[in-house]
Structure 1
Amino acid sequence: MPETAPNAPLSMGARRFGRVNWLGLMTLAERENRRFLAVWTQTLMAPLITAGLFMVIFSIAIGPRRGDVMGVGFTTFIAPGILMMTVIQNAFANTSSSIVISKVQGNIVDTLMPPLSAAELLLGYLAGGVGRGVLVAGAIAAGLWLVLGIVPAHPVWAAGFIVLGATLMSGVGIVAGIFANKFDQMAAITNFVVTPLAFLSGTFYSVEALPPGLYGITHVNPVFYVIDGVRFGMIGTSDSAPALGLAVSGVATLAVCLAAWIMLARGTRLKV
């Protein structure tokens, strides 16, 4: 069998980088992380202040008149929910804004032209969303420890649900960013999909207090299980079994990431 010359041209569709283009993947992941770190006052400091304001407002307005919730004080109960709500909003914003801005500015081609597969593009974008979500979670968790003395009761569970929730909403952000062609469409998705999912998922209340109809709807919302899982990890109490929450949110994350991978592979609303 004749040997292939070292500098022989590659056949159509062949990749010079092997099965995984690690250099390209790491470059994209680094770009996505540097993107939000460059404006850390907006992407990291602002969410921390917003979470603090939520804590102060609810503690002053409701805390003194509200009894214990599931055996803990109201302020302690809502703290993990506010933490996770902030994480999922920022994870979603990171991936969705990155794609939409590139499409609006016309430089999405700079991401599509390099030899990156759909899976590599997906992982690169996810790295930025998860990185931002984890940093936001760490900053808020440190604040909860300093101000309220909350130390995670089950740190492994808390960390797992934080990463899983950030991955889930980063994937949703990729799908939304691919779908939206302008900022108005992105704002509509944020206002009518992401914000209701975050606020109506047991962030500020126990779902046991809901009427049967809303109770059933809440239990098919994967964001509820993410928030409930973080609450279990932070303060040791939850509305549902953590293992069930891990399974539901894990399946939802895989489904969303699969949808994002298919859209990236087909170039849906990305390639003209």
Structure 2
Amino acid sequence: MAQNAPLNTPEMGTRRFGRVNWLGLETLVRREVRRFLAVWTQTLLAPLVTAGLFLLIFNLAIGPRRGDVMGVPFIEFIAPGILMMTVIQNAFANVSSSIVISKVQGNIVDTLMPPLAPLELVIGYLAGGIGRGMFVALAIGLGLLLFLGIGVQHPVMALVFVVLGSAFLGGLGIIAGVFANKFDQMAAITNFIVTPLAFLSGTFYSVTVLPPVLRELTYLNPIFYLIDGLRYSVIGVSDSDPWMGMVICAIAVIAVSAISWQMFRTGYRLKP
């Protein structure tokens, strides 16, 4: 007579640790955070120095002759944009470099083999990018407050935009990291896509000075709404409705996360 199956046998299609692999997800998040904390001089201190140099150079070269922009001094106008630009560049670099390095070294299998669902992989990588973005934002924000006296008028909104910006570029970092098989491919994506989108997004100017065609193209750039929203959060002026920008950025985060999920689900350019 055949023996009955054990009562604690999981049903077909379920995982023995539940619907969410919390231990695996926590491990991936810790790994991604420790990656940038281990080299904090490169990942946290260097962006702070770079942002400070941007502000110093623009203030010395343009500031005294530029006059006010949208009713505020030029240096105050560009400060939030530089902060957001630095945050999103670091969030992108954190995620994309993690995936590309793993692919080049051949140990991406160590991430794909554990019982982590595609959504858990997306969340784990995004958490690392958001964590680095938050650290960078905090460091630069303190620098703006101490050296320029620029505070934050709407702290909660500023936090939301920093998280959205880090998540959006973190999602793009997953897409770019999965697509790229070599470092030069990753550099090409950064130089020809990410950097132009960041610089041509109203960081150093108000979009009201642009010709109509360029202005409409700028409105199609999600990074514009990130920078404009953070600018409103910090100094209270903006080129667009910050609430509408928040919705657009949230949609952009969902879109890149969905593409990232699909890439991990199908193993696109990850599995032989």
Indicate whether 1:214 and 2:214 are aligned. Answer: yes
- TM-score (structure 1 length as normaliser): 0.97
Matches within 5 A, 1:159-238: 159-238=159-238
TM-score (norm 2): 0.97
Q: Aligned pair count?
A: 270
Distance 2:196 2:17 in 1: 43
Give the Cα–Cα distance (whole angstroms) in 2 for the partners of residues 139 and 215 of structure 1: 32
Q: Could you give the per-residue CA deviations for residues 221-264 of structure 1, whole angstroms, max 9, x where no partner exists?
A: 00000000000000011000011101111111110110000001
Please name the residue that 1:136 is paired with.
136
Matched, 1:84 2:84: yes
Partner Cα separation in structure 2 for residue 193 and residue 178 of structure 1: 16
Q: Shift in Å at residue 207 of structure 1?
A: 0.5
1:135 partner letter: F
- Aligned counterpart, 2:155: 155
In structure 2, the residue matched to 1:249 is 249
- What is the CA–CA distance in structure 2 between the aligned matches of 1:175 and 1:90, rounded to whole Å? 15
Give the corresponding residue for 1:60. Answer: 60
Q: Which residue of 1 aligns with 2:271?
A: 271
Structure 1: 5+ residue stretches without partners: none
- In 2, Cα distance between equivalents of 1:54 and 1:13: 53
After TM superposition, give the deviation of residue 18 of structure 1 in Å.
0.7
* Distance (whole Å) between structure 2 residues aligned to residue 195 and residue 225 of structure 1: 16
Provide the C-alpha distance between the structure 1 equivalents of 2:5 and 2:82, rounded to a whole number of angstroms: 59
> After TM superposition, which residue ranges in structure 1, 4 or more long, deviate above 3 angstroms?
10-14
Q: CA deviation at 1:4?
A: 4.8
CA distance in 2: counterparts of 1:96 and 1:143, whole angstroms: 27
> Pairwise CA RMSD of aligned residues?
1.3
Partners of 1:95 and 1:119 in 2: CA distance:
15
Amino acid at match of 2:143: G
Deviations 1:162-190 (A, max 9, x none): 10000000000000000000000000000
Measure, in 2, the Cα distance between the counterparts of 1:161 and 1:146: 22
Structure 2 gaps of 5+ residues are none
